[in-house]
Each structure stands twice: as C-alpha cells, then as structure tokens.
Amino acid sequence: MFADCAKVFIKSGKGGDGHVSFRRELYVPNGGPDGGDGGRGGDVIFEVDPGLNTLTDFRHVRKYVAKDGEEGKKRRCHGADAKDLIIKVPEGTIIKDFESGKVIADMSGENRREIILKGGKGGLGNMHFATSTMQVPKYAQPGQPGAELWVTLELKVIADVGLVGFPNVGKSTLLSRVSNARPQIANYHFTTLNPHLGVVDLDGTDGFVMADIPGLIEGASEGVGLGHAFLRHIERCKVLIHVVDAASVEGRDPVEDIRAINKELEKYDPELLERPQVIAANKVDAIFEDENEESPLARLRAAFEPEGLSVFPISAVTGKGVKELLYAVYELLQTVDRTPTIFEKEFDIRYESDKALPYQVSRADDGAYVVEGPRIEKMLGYTNLDSEKGFAFFQNFLKDTGILDELERAGIQEGDTVRMYSLEFDYFK
C-alpha cells in the first residue's frame, strides 16, 4: 500500500551530566577536582534516500528517539558523544510540526540532509568550577535535555508535468506509452491508488518528468475519496494536462469534468490555476462519427480554446496525436521556471535553553515568595548548599539570572520568606 503521509514522534538525546570527582593519588592528599564533562546527546537527522519512493516504513515505526550522551568520568575524562539518529526519507518529503502544520524542512532539491532536533549539550564537570577561593567544588552541571516533537511527514512528488483527470480516463495508459513507467492498468475506477513517475524522452529536447496522479472525484479538496492524496502531489508540477474521455465512453461530460477539476484545484490552492494547462482529449479511437457542434470534442474546443487552453485529440492506446501533445507541453515548460518548488521553512525548534525566563515568581497564601522553574530545580539538585562555597554559588545564580531583581519588583522586604521547592530561607540584601 502506497503511503504519502505519516505522523511520527521524534526526540533528540539528552546531554550527559558533568561528573564530580577529585584527584586521589599516593602522596597527593589534597588533589583538585577532576570531574569530566558529559557527552553530547544524539541529533535527529532526516536524510534523503534515492532508493525510497513512499513513506510506508513509517506506518510500522512511529517513534524515533536518539541516544543520550555519556556522563563525564574521573580524571577529566569526557563522556562519549551519542551517535546521531538518521532517518531516511524519499526525496520530496516535507516535515511539518504536527500541532501548527508549519513547515520545518522540505527534503527536496539540494536539501539532502537536515538536522531537525539537536541533541542536548553535555554538562560541565566540577573541574570547571574551581577558583582561588573555591578549590573543592562539589557540584557539576547536568546535561541539557533533548527536544521532542510530533511531526507530520508528507510526500509531494517532484515532476514537471502532472496528468489530472477523473478515474478511468486513460492517464495511466498515456504515461505507460510515453515513458518507461509501468503503472497498473485495468478497466475499473481507482486503478491508480498512488502516483507514478515516468521520464519522457523527446527527440531534440532534454525531456521532462511526468506524473500520473490518482484519479480525482468532486469534493477532493475537502478530503473526499482520495482527496488530499491526489491534490498534494500536484503542488510541485509546473504544467498540468487535463486528460478527459472525448468519446464519453462511460457517459461523462468532458467539459464538466475539466470545470469540476479546476474547481477542486482552486479550493485547495488558488495558485494551482495559474499553472499552464492543456487538454488531452483521449480515446478518439473510440469515436466513430464525424465531429459536429454537439460532439464532445467540438464542445471542448468551443469551451476552452477561447480561454487559451489548447485541445489535443489523442489516443493513448494507438499513439495518435500523442507526439504533438508532448512537444506542445515541452514548449510550455520553457515558459516557466523548472526549478523544483521548495516549500520555505516556517517553524523554528525552541529548545529549553533558548527560553527567555528560566523561572517564575509568585506569592503563596502564607505570604512567602515562591520561585519555581526547571533551571532552579536542576541547580538545586547539583548544588551543595551546606557548603559555604556552594551557597555562594547559589547566591550568584540568583543574581545572574535576575531572580533577585524580580523579587524586588514583586515587593519583597527584608525578613520575608523565599521558597524554592524544598528550600526555604529569609531574604536579606
């Protein structure tokens, strides 16, 4: 089963914690701190794999978590960095934030490899905190946490020309005749349930890539039938070929079919109607009467040629008129920019270390000033407040992060109580 959309969870690795240790050697009774730094957590990287053409693998595995960095070690030894997690996707895959729907990256064109989530930095070992006045620091820095995100993967095929039309009008037959593509062909609706790509070679030209898009039904822009599975693959196409049944073999009106398709394109994205279009009036081999004003072919010409859309009578089965259609399409391609459409980045990943306020100040019912925040909780976890030097480090932390200024703005007075998780103390300037 072809898959062109998937929802997956990704998470980068946490940085390893810094280590607390002291040099212990014979004849060196008072060795200094020698705790090493933690290793970097693994990144989550998406990479284009030319051998893939669907997102089927993501139907079976929906959770991708990178490894954590190794903790620091004794003797100033650095913890090992974690290996990056590389996720392979087909070219044309768009990675979006699931909540907002905004584009994080488009794996197309020259963008073959993208770091989506960076791993957390490793924490510093206690050897970094030794000073002339604090020679035995008993604390180290924890590693930064990894980032996590639910993302949507959408595959939008990369083709110059898209064949659009209702089911069973001959799109797959046309593609199989003009290229080396071999889509499944049968005389029933929705034979094509996934897009097929084929390279069209024309004498005297550099050719182009054509896509047979799954058949459309009315309401596709609202997701009816194959819905967006059809429409998302048109977004990169530069020229559209409307394939219609000019013989009305199944009683369809080709004029109304084109109107209906363009209506669905407009609802999905009005810019799609600005793409050059031509009409391939297929199945002329099944027309056994001369063209007259009431014939489907004549009605197609009368309805669309005044609007600038050329009508090409063809037979995908016999090949009649196909070469003329292809050369006309190639000429249209020369009038547009054939650089693959790349969807711009709209979403930036925010890491915990990037957030502006690492704390919040509030007032408890008993009048105490409560200070909370993830950085404070972590700092209390690795700071020895029973030590004079550790408490000095804690005071500097309150000053450097602006917590003391925030308490002043909140109206704190000398002797008031400050509460930080399990720590409680009286405030004095």
DSSP H or E run through 244: strand 239-245
Between CA 106 and CA 96 the distance in angstroms is 9
Contacts of residue 149, Cβ cutoff 8 Å, sequence gap at least 6: 9, 10, 11, 97, 98, 116, 117, 349
Q: What pLDDT score was predicted for residue 227?
A: 45
Between CA 269 and CA 235 the distance in angstroms is 9
Between CA 378 and CA 422 the distance in angstroms is 12
Between CA 93 and CA 154 the distance in angstroms is 5
**pTM of the predicted structure, to 2 decimals:** 0.65
Q: What pLDDT score was predicted for residue 23?
A: 79
* Residue whose C-alpha is closest to residue 215's, from 239, 238, 247, 183: 183
User: What pLDDT digit, counting tens, does each position of 247-283 carry?
Assistant: 877 778 889 989 988 988 888 888 888 999 999 998 8
Contacts of residue 112, Cβ cutoff 8 Å, sequence gap at least 6: 47, 48
Phi-psi region of 308 (alpha: psi -120 to 50; beta: other; left: phi over 0): left
| Tokens encoding 180 | 């080396």
Between CA 194 and CA 1 the distance in angstroms is 8
* Residue whose C-alpha is closest to residue 156's, from 210, 90, 217: 90
Q: What pLDDT score was predicted for residue 37?
A: 92
Q: Give yes or no for a contact between 147 and 171, defined as CB atoms under 8 angstroms apart.
A: no
Between CA 144 and CA 375 the distance in angstroms is 10
pLDDT beneath 70, residues of the chain: 1-3, 26-30, 131-135, 180-195, 214-230, 288-294, 351-358, 374-375, 377-378, 381-384, 387, 389-390
| Tokens encoding 415 | 């002797």
The pairing of beta strand 148-155 with beta strand 161-164? unpaired
- Neighbour count for residue 314 (Cβ, 10 Å): 28
Between CA 404 and CA 398 the distance in angstroms is 6
DSSP H or E run through 88: strand 85-89
